[in-house]
């Protein structure tokens, strides 16, 4: 059963370029931060600042990845609705 929005065709006219760019940028940032976390995790005797930066980087990675995945999920939903 098609949704009203899909029948009207407006979902097919949505431009997801900005969303795709944001998804890509978030994953690039997360990947770059993983390099930082790898270096900090490899320190023999990390100081308090190192530990703080590591915790912040891990939290930021999680947030960036979650946001990107949420956007992908929303685009998938829109695509599914547009097909109905």
For residue 67, CA distances in Å to 11, 30, 42, 45, 60 come to: 21, 11, 28, 33, 11
Higher pLDDT, 18 or 30: 30
| pLDDT tens, residue by residue, 68-82 | 999 999 988 887 877
CA distance linking residue 36 with residue 67, whole number of Å = 20
Q: Are 1 and 77 in contact (CB under 8 A)?
A: no
CA distance linking residue 64 with residue 58, whole number of Å = 10
Q: What is the pTM of this model?
A: 0.75
């Amino acid at each position: 059963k098609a949704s009203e929005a899909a029948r009207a065709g407006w979902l097919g006219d949505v431009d997801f370029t900005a969303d795709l760019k944001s998804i890509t940028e978030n994953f690039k940032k997360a990947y770059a931060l993983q390099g930082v976390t790898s270096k900090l995790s490899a320190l023999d005797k990390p100081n308090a600042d190192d530990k703080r930066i590591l915790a912040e980087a891990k939290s930021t990675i999680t947030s960036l990845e979650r946001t990107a995945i949420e956007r992908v999920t929303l685009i998938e939903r829109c695509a599914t609705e547009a097909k109905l």
